[in-house]
Amino acid sequence: MKSWGRLITAMVTPFNEKLEVNYEQAVELANRLVAEGTTALVVSGTTGEGPTLTAEEKENLFCKIKENISVPVIAGIGTNSTASTIENAKRALACGVDGLLIVAPYYNKPDQDSLFEHFRVVAEAVEIPIMLYNVPGRTGCNIGPETIERLSKIENIVALKEASGNIIQLSEAVKRTPDDFLVYTGEDVLTLPSLSVGAYGVVSVASHVVGSRMKEMINSFLRGNTERATEIHFQLLDIFNGLFVVTNPIPVKAALNMMGIRVGDLRMPLTAAKPSIKAEIQRHMRKLDLV
């Protein structure tokens, strides 16, 4: 699914003052991201506060974003229930989305065989490209490289978002899977290192604020100008880390609000960034002339 491109943004969900989904602002933000280099959007993923969105809100978001942007939309629909995941997938399909992001089931802690069966059953229930999402820091279970290899042989499982933070595991996924199976890092700070070991791109949070610079970094690497790519990597290192100083998406929503892009606060159990966190993020942003 190379049509998804190399710089996918996991988009935040804007809320109004009542913490209702601001669909108009979501469309505006989506178009801004595309203008700055985003090649596809993940909607209602971790960064989009998917766990606190209702099924109806997710469906409305999928439909409105898909209707109003020019790049592929990948719907975050995974849950810790296989049946619910399939139900969510079918609702997303009705909106004409271009792919599904399916996270490893959280809390249940399935073993590797159970993980394989979960994804296999979901994949067989829908006819649409699927990106696996491995984020053990949030789910409590890790999709091992052997399981990724097995899953990559299923026709419509076409990509992986590897957010374990483990470059060795990402390397194993690249090594074990076919060339047309695309491995993306889910860690902004590992974008350049991941490209160097064969990853296709990144599913990014930082692209909300430094999308054009990340695009330049990726393109520089692809053109063989590793010196320029490395220079940009080090320029962005502080903001990459700063946007994860506390739980995502707390920092990135604070950053966007500081830039005048009104995305509102967060739904509980997440709460808005404290003044000390905002000050740290702002310090990193000033170095890049973002505020």
111-136 pLDDT, tens digit per residue, is 999 999 999 999 999 999 999 999 99
pLDDT of residue 214: 98
Where in the chain are the domains? 2-224
**Which residues does residue 201 pair with via DSSP β-bridges, in sequence order?**
184
CA distances (Å), origin 27, targets 22, 43, 70, 161? 9, 11, 11, 24
pLDDT of residue 44: 98
Q: Which residue spans within the chain are E strands per DSSP?
A: 7-10, 40-43, 73-76, 99-103, 130-134, 157-162, 182-185, 201-204
What's the rounded Cα separation, in Å, for the pair 29 and 15? 12
pLDDT of residue 152: 98
Query: Is 47 marked as binding a ligand?
Result: yes
State whether the Cα torsion 147-153-155-159 is positive or negative.
Answer: positive
What's the rounded Cα separation, in Å, for the pair 263 and 277? 17
The residues annotated as belonging to the active site are 133, 161
Sites in the chain below the pLDDT cut of 70: 1
What's the rounded Cα separation, in Å, for the pair 14 and 23? 7
Backbone region of residue 245 per phi and psi (left: phi > 0; alpha: psi in -120 to 50; beta: other values)? alpha
Neighbours of 280 (CB within 10 A): 19
DSSP state, residue 65? H
What's the rounded Cα separation, in Å, for the pair 154 and 137? 26
CATH label, 2-224, candidates 3.40.50.2300, 3.40.190.10, 3.10.20.30, 3.20.20.70: 3.20.20.70
Query: Is 203 marked as binding a ligand?
Result: yes
Q: Which residue spans within 121-223 are E strands per DSSP?
A: 130-134, 157-162, 182-185, 201-204
What's the rounded Cα separation, in Å, for the pair 215 and 36? 8
CA distances (Å), origin 190, targets 70, 150, 184, 201, 235? 27, 25, 10, 10, 14
What's the rounded Cα separation, in Å, for the pair 202 and 47? 14
pLDDT of residue 1: 61
How long is the chain? 291
